[in-house]
Amino acid sequence: MRRLALVMLTAFLLAPAASAAPPFQYKEFAQGANVFFTNCPLSLPATDLICHDYSVWYVRFTAVADEPPLGPLDRSGTPFVAQFTDDMYVLHPDGSADELRFEAGFTTDVTGFYDKTQLASAHMDGAAIHMNDVDFATGTVTPNGRTVALGPFTWTAASSIYTFGNDGPALGDSPRHRSTRCETLNANFHQRFTLGYVTGTVDGVSISVYNQYPQVPDLQPSDAPGAIFNNWFHLVDLTRGCV
């Protein structure tokens, strides 16, 4: 199972209720940079193989989801975080996979810079990440005692700025407007990002020794594992009582 490398953080949109209800609203902004890499070959293995897919994020992100009215998101007051994920699974020769373990951690104890206007570069100084086991079935997050040392990471754009709306790489299958007898949905997405290359270390090992996932293979450069992004999402979903 290959993990799709998304350009930005995605959100789980709540399913609307079956009965009439006030409109559900979701707002999100995400600014920063990320990179995806793996210890597995990018082709399918001849035998079962234990794989680790990793990601590093330098990002500030805020989302609110509730019935209106929703206040504004605090963009300037939201701190940047350093985040690391480790997805461990068994990859089979047919491309299927069995999940073994998912770990994630973050810290606000990090410094760096981010070019939110030109999206030309970003940098994150080193940070210590205390990791957690994440159970997707129950939503339980449990500290596991592991600490990952991220060295400095630098993102350098190798593309011009790509601009998308609802057709972008994240949540790209959402219609801008949908109206039926039971539901009216309006979604307004703004996605701006550059693709580029990244240097950095994890526990003292350069990420250059790993295979690196392209962020969006359909865009150039098609092998770029990093992205620098500035994104905004707003969704309003009104459901009516339908049997």
Q: For the segment 50-63, what is each residue's pLDDT rounded down to a tens digit?
A: 999 999 999 998 87
pLDDT reported for residue 243: 55
Contact 212, 34 (CB under 8 A): no
DSSP string covering 13-71: PPPPPSS--PPEEEEEEEEEEEEEEESS-SS--SS-EEEEEEEEEEEEEEEEEESSPP-
Cα distances (Å, whole numbers) of residue 122 to 16, 116, 153, 203: 38, 9, 8, 21
What's the CA dihedral at 116, 126, 132, 205 to 10 degrees?
A: 110
Given a contact cutoff of 8 angstroms between Cβ atoms, the answer to whether 35 and 228 are in contact is no
**What's phi and psi for 212, nearest 5 deg?**
-115, 130
pLDDT band at 88 (very low <50, low <70, confident <90, very high): very high
Q: What is the pLDDT of residues 181-231, one digit of tens each?
A: 676 666 667 889 999 999 999 999 999 999 998 988 899 999 999 999 998
The pTM of the full predicted model, rounded to 2 decimals, is 0.81
* pLDDT value for 5: 34
Q: What Rg value do the Cα atoms of the chain yield, rounded?
A: 19
